[in-house]
Amino acid sequence: MAIAELTQAQRDQLLADHPGWGLARDGKAIERKLEFADFNEAFGFMTRVALLADKADHHPEWFNVYNRVELTLTTHDAGGLSQRDADMASAIDALL
Amino acid sequence: MAIAELTQAQRDQLLADHPGWGLARDGKAIERKLEFADFNEAFGFMTRVALLADKADHHPEWFNVYNRVELTLTTHDAGGLSQRDADMASAIDALL
């Protein structure tokens, strides 16, 4: 079963609820860029996200170099943003 | 103290010794793209690399989405490739 893509109103709500995130890829994804004290903190954060993501079976696209982590969330099965991205953004924000 | 950039001959040797890697960024970096069975395997690999990298204080730039991992190695203090990248490539290859 395909997952429903968020409506424009739902996307606006997602951004209002998650001020650290911005739209990317013409509104098909959200991204957040983070900076930590060092690699230990950055990868520690990534490890916590990895456990959440694998449990939810909803995985980020992410880039890391040293203390920087860039996350992108999208739902391939929805062809854009879905509630799963909003939920994952909430779970990630709760770690910070 | 600045770290010595590899000479052309040393770069050629690095690539000969590490066939999984290719030059990137006009010869200033090397990259390797890997595919695993799933996210668990991909992130398990990343965790092993993270431990090596932090111990060596030489960190990759890397991207992951689900089962794919793309690694880039370069040495900022050398303005390009150094022996540290060759050593890290060897350590990463030994995990595979």
Alpha carbons within 13 angstroms on the beta-carbon side of residue B2 total 8
- The secondary structure of residue B84, as a DSSP letter, is H
- Please name the residue that has the structure tokens 């911005």: A22
Q: Say yes or no: B37 contacts chain A, CB-CB below 8 A.
A: no
Q: Is the pTM higher than 0.80?
A: yes
Q: Say yes or no: A50 contacts chain B, CB-CB below 8 A.
A: yes
Q: Say yes or no: B64 contacts chain A, CB-CB below 8 A.
A: yes
Are residues A39 and B53, on separate chains, in Cβ contact within 8 Å? yes
Q: Residue range A20-47: average pLDDT? A: 98
Q: Residue range B76-84: average pLDDT? A: 96
- Residue A22 banded pLDDT, cuts 50, 70, 90: very high
* ipTM confidence score: 0.94
For chain A, domains (ranges, CATH) are 8-94 (3.30.1360.20)
Taking 80 as the threshold, does the pLDDT of residue A1 lie above it? Answer: no
For residue B4, give the 3-state DSSP assignment.
coil
**Torsional sign, CA B54, B15, B19, B94:** negative
